[in-house]
Amino acid sequence: MRFLRSTAGVSAVAAVDALPLTSQSYLADVATARRLVGARSGAVLETVLLRRRAVSKVDSPDAWLFTDTALQQATPALVARHRARRFAGRDVHDVTCSVGVDLAALGEVADRCVGSDTDDVRLLMAAGNTPVPVCRADALRPVTGGTAVFVDPARRDAAGRRRWHAADFVPPLDALAEVYRGRDLAVKCAPGMDFAELPWDGEVELVSLDGQVREACLWAGAFAGPTRRATVLRGDGREWTVTSDDPDDCPVREVGEWLVDPDGAVVRAGLVRQYAATLGFGQLDERIAYLTGDTEPAGIRAFRVLEHGHYTEKSLRQTLRGRGVGRLEILVRGLDVDPNTLRPRLKLSGRESATVVLTRVGRAPMAYLCASG
């Protein structure tokens, strides 16, 4: 690691970074790296590849050092900054700071900030990656008092497999909740967890970025607001949120001119009805997340319905052929249909593009053919 931070190391990384390192050129590039760098070529190659993957995670990845596991768990910069806003003006302790991705975002807004971890290699990386001071400490043995606390527990085992249960986190969620009882606390979690079974008295926030659900965050103490929150972020700076405290007046109704597939954060947070109410839309079925209305909603992707009816593969194939559809987006909820398996069976041909929404209303399978959104 000291080599990678040295003048010689920086030059070696720059030289290897000039190589394409594509799947076609990789073997030849590895041989070139060995000639250029010698015995340290493995560490240099890993650094270059991790920095290339880190473009969506940090603003200037060419100045960072990572481990593969730390990078996989790292938060994208926009999400980390969104979360850090609640810590603005506070004294903050990131008690599982790893290589410093979340720590850097917290340091931008906190009054005073410190990071700690038990992994010596990651601490050395964090010390070089951010200007925030770091120390070695166990997250379950607090070394600061009066600070707001951020925790990002490890969610992968030694083989790299994801841990889906809060009891399997390192440190475990129940132990964290007990140790920091009465403190203002935020715990980052995987969005795929079953939050209905999670023993958490505070707020659960689901966050998506550009249509992909990126994380869940559990908030406690003064940080906690509504029981559930969905926050939708866009790379262009737009964002919006919906919470469990919002009105949920949402009828079940016949299909209108427009369909909306709610953002994954809304669905994961269980806030489909609240979101529909903000749009003035209704649900096609009370158990299905697709929403419908008669006016095109502003600022979100919506699909204009061209025709709809009972779904069978044969009838859908005939409809698509009649409309000359050669490019088709297939969206599915509530039916056992695999779009990748269905698409070649539809034998698409033609110049038109379309989107088909396959779902059920009651027990009836339905198909909604829409103009491409």
CA distance 71 to 105: 15
Higher pLDDT, 341 or 191: 341
Q: Does residue 267 contact residue 273 with C-beta atoms inside 8 Å?
A: no
User: 172-211 pLDDT, tens per residue?
Assistant: 888 999 999 999 999 999 888 888 777 788 999 999 999 9
pLDDT band for position 327 (cuts 50, 70, 90): very high
Residues 6+ apart with CB under 8 A from 18: none
Compute the average pLDDT of residues 39-64. 92
The pLDDT-based confidence of 263 (bands split at 50, 70, 90) is: very high
The tens digit of pLDDT for each residue in 216-234 reads 999 999 999 999 999 999 9
Q: Which of 350, 366, 347 is nearest to 358 (CA)?
A: 366
Instruction: Tell me how far apart the alpha carbons of residues 32 and 29 are, in angstroms, rounded to a whole number.
Output: 5
Sequence-distant (≥ 6) Cβ neighbours of residue 79 within 8 angstroms: 207, 209, 214, 215, 233
Reported as a pLDDT band with limits 50, 70 and 90, residue 269 is very high
User: Residue 262: is its pLDDT beyond 80?
Assistant: yes
The candidate with the shortest Cα–Cα distance to 213, out of 160, 165, 271, 259, is: 271
Tokens 């009836």 identify what position?
Answer: 364
Compute CA distances 101 → 61, 88, 340, whole Å: 10, 17, 36
Which residues neighbour 117 within 8 Å (Cβ) at sequence distance 6 or greater? 96, 97, 98, 123, 126, 134, 136, 137
pLDDT tens-digit map of 104-160? 999 999 999 999 999 999 999 999 999 999 999 999 999 999 999 999 998 655 445
Report pLDDT for 159: 47
For the chain, what percent of residues have pLDDT higher than 70? 96
CA 193 – CA 102 distance, rounded (Å):
21
Residues 237-252: what's their mean pLDDT?
A: 95
Q: What is the pTM of this model?
A: 0.90
CATH number of 71-241: 3.40.50.150
